[in-house]
């Protein structure tokens, strides 16, 4: 089935077509989620929500963009929503900890993944620094950077996903790289 047939079949509730779509886009979706949350557990959870949304809103896909562009867009939105919700939760937890006197870290970003046992088991401090540097990028710079570096999307493809011009993406990428270099240099100086 080509993309159009696939989405048309899903619109009629065809499960076989949906399975085919999931198998085709599984790596794309999971890897994109992982580039935002940096751990497999959350990446799988978000990716499942992405496919559920694809299934439920297949009728909204008008074919104005490529199917992969539409799926990338849903994936980025779901990942960012997850991060926002998680930050809110961590913030409330931190406020609670401050009010009730427990001495947990107030660093929301760090709480989001680096404190987790699964992260510590899989990663070292260098990786944590790298991810923190990426996570510290302003949102649009981070989206462009992740899609380019983790997903190898071209600036044209990123522009389609983000609904921006190619020159805007170029500018976002340039600033993202400068900011990332600055953060990584600070880590490098601290280590030496």
Partner 1 sequence: MKHQQIRDKLIFFREQSLPENETRIIQEHLVHCKECSLFLDRLNEDFATIQSEKLVSADPFYYTRLKAKMEQHEQLGVTSRSWAQVVVFSVLLIFAISGGIMLGKNFSTLDYQNETVTSELLLFDGVKQEPIEQFLLTEE
Residue ranges in contact with partner 1 by CB under 8 A: 19, 22-23, 26-27, 30-31, 34-35, 38, 44, 48, 51-52, 55, 126-127, 130, 149-150, 177-178, 180-181, 184-185, 188, 192
30 or 67: whose CB is closer to partner 1? 30
Name residue, tokens 């805007």: 168
163 or 174: whose CB is closer to partner 1? 174
Instruction: Give the residue from 131, 130, 128, 129 showing the smallest Cα distance to 120.
Output: 128
Q: How many residues does the chain have?
A: 192
CB 148 within 8 A of CB 157: no
Residue 168's alpha-carbon distances to 73, 76, 159, 181, 190, in angstroms, are 17, 18, 8, 20, 33
Give least dist CB 30 to partner 1, A.
6
Give least dist CB 83 to partner 1, A.
17
106 or 136: whose CB is closer to partner 1? 136
106 or 187: whose CB is closer to partner 1? 187
């Amino acid at each position: 089935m080509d993309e159009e047939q696939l989405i048309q079949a899903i619109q009629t509730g065809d499960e076989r077509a949906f399975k085919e779509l999931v198998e085709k886009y599984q790596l794309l979706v999971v890897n994109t989620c992982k580039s935002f949350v940096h751990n497999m557990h959350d990446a799988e959870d978000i990716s499942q929500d992405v496919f559920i949304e694809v299934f439920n809103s297949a009728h909204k896909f008008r074919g104005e963009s490529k199917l992969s562009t539409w799926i990338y867009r849903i994936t980025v939105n779901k990942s960012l929503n997850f991060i926002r919700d998680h930050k809110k939760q961590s913030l409330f937890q931190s406020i609670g900890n401050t009010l009730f006197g427990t001495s947990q870290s107030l660093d929301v970003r760090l709480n989001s993944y680096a404190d987790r046992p699964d992260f510590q088991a899989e990663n070292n401090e260098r990786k944590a620094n790298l991810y923190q540097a990426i996570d510290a990028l302003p949102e649009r710079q981070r989206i462009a950077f992740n899609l380019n570096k983790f997903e190898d999307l071209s600036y044209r493809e990123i522009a389609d996903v983000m609904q921006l011009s190619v020159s805007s993406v170029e500018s976002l990428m340039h600033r993202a790289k400068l900011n990332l270099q600055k953060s990584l240099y600070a880590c490098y100086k601290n280590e030496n």
